Amino acid sequence: MGTLSKWLRITVYGSLMSLILTSCNTDHLASSSVATSSFTIQSGERLMHKTSKSVRVTPSDTSEYPIHPDHLADEIIKGNYEQIYSQTSQAFKQEVPWDTFLKVLSSFGDSVKGYQAISELKQDHTIRKVWIDEQHRRGIVAVFANQLPDYPDQTILGLRINDLEQYPATDHSQTQTIFSPPIQQNWQVVWGGSNALVNYHYEYPNQRYAYDLIVTQNGSSYRGNAKKNQSYFAFGRPVTAPADGKIVKVVNDIADNQPVGTTNEQQPAGNYVVIQHANREYSMLAHFRHNSIQVQVGDTVKRGQVIGQCGNSGNSSEPHIHFQVMDQANWAESTSLPVQFANHFSPIQGETMYPSL
Ligand SMILES: [Zn+2]
């Protein structure tokens, strides 16, 4: 993960979160556990030099307890750090002592006047919420317990605050082609959007505007044995061409990861297809099920045509579709492009992607 060198990161809840969120990471198209629940300090230097300001540690009279997930960012601005800390899990407190917590939160508490909630992902008995400030310069991620065994509801399992990178030159552009979601039913966007807190790919130019899609039922992506690919609602579902085009790359011979949770970092995309569209735009669909791809290089495909089945090949932590559009056929060398969908549809993490042809 490229950003680790910049951040002092304290992972609070890594093992369970790896089961909760699917992602692709690193300079390769990858997928692995995600430190969404980590407590992050943007730099050690910042911590060293910004601890002298006075900090209110007494909860204000107007605050509720426990703090509702919708109100956490407001409470951070108000400086109710002690109350927030008291709502964190024991594991969090063990990883992040109060002194550290106070120093870090107060170091971030200077300039931001308001945060806006931009996404909410309910999954596997947690709620993950993301806020960004008005200038899109700083963001907060928090993960709360939601009917999670052994945790009172609204327990804060993880918290991360950090400054955000922006790429305005591409953030505000769009593909010329209007793409359709590469699916036949409703899928959930587990990573997608134009900042690193809602879209893990965003830090990497060749995947910046990619989407990871899963299928959920009652807030879970699987039923039964979590180690088996067949337990996942996404596994085996049809994946369709997102627009008319020509097949320019197919890999189809890579085994699905078994048990779920193991990953193949040597062949990060797993089984995948690249389609050349008009306007020199290329879509990539990755992590297909072993031997499920039904098209060959040179084939012409129509929008909505089934090209294979969702799988768990490559650097994938559970069955999901990775979908991106880029400026050339070689994904590793490409520049990722924000995808234009019909009707100004612009899904981000936690939202549903609907098939719309
Ligand atoms: Zn991905």
Confidence band, pLDDT 50/70/90 cuts, at residue 130: very high
In this predicted model, what pLDDT tens digit does every residue of 43-82 receive, in sequence order?
222 222 222 333 334 444 455 789 999 999 999 999 999 9
* 57 CA distance to ligand 1 middle (Å): 40
Confidence band, pLDDT 50/70/90 cuts, at residue 109: low
Q: DSSP assignment, residue 12?
A: S
User: What was the pLDDT predicted at 212?
Assistant: 96
* 201 CA distance to ligand 1 middle (Å): 7
Contact 309, 292 (CB under 8 A): yes
* 17 CA distance to ligand 1 middle (Å): 16
Residue 26 burial by CB count (10 A; 0-12/13-18/19+): exposed, middle or buried?
middle
* 76 CA distance to ligand 1 middle (Å): 31
User: What was the pLDDT predicted at 305?
Assistant: 98
Whole-angstrom distance, CA of residue 240 vs CA of residue 180:
9
- Which amino acid does the sequence have at 190? V
* 247 CA distance to ligand 1 middle (Å): 20
Residue 357 has pLDDT above 60, yes or no: no
Q: List domains and CATH numbers for the chain.
A: 2-163 (no CATH), 169-353 (2.70.70.10)
CA 65 → CA 80, 86, 146, 349, distances in Å? 11, 10, 16, 28
Contact 104, 38 (CB under 8 A): no
* 191 CA distance to ligand 1 middle (Å): 7
Residue 287 has pLDDT above 50, yes or no: yes
* 160 CA distance to ligand 1 middle (Å): 21
Query: What is the pLDDT averaged over residues 80-104?
Result: 91
Q: DSSP assignment, residue 302?
A: -
Least confident of 52-61, 82-91, 229-238: 52-61
Contact 123, 104 (CB under 8 A): no
* 22 CA distance to ligand 1 middle (Å): 8
State the DSSP string of 67-128. Answer: PPGGGHHHHHHHT-HHHHHHTB-HHHHHHS-HHHHHHHHHHHSSS---EEEEEEEEETTEEE
Query: What is the pLDDT averaged over residues 97-103?
Result: 90
Contact 37, 158 (CB under 8 A): yes
* 272 CA distance to ligand 1 middle (Å): 12
Least confident of 17-31, 36-50, 170-184, 195-209: 36-50
Contact 240, 307 (CB under 8 A): yes
The tokens describing 162, both together, are 């950090």
* 29 CA distance to ligand 1 middle (Å): 7
| Closest by Cα among 101, 81, 6, 3 to 44 | 6
* 161 CA distance to ligand 1 middle (Å): 23
* pTM (2 d.p.): 0.82
* 212 CA distance to ligand 1 middle (Å): 5
| Percent with pLDDT over 90 in the chain | 70
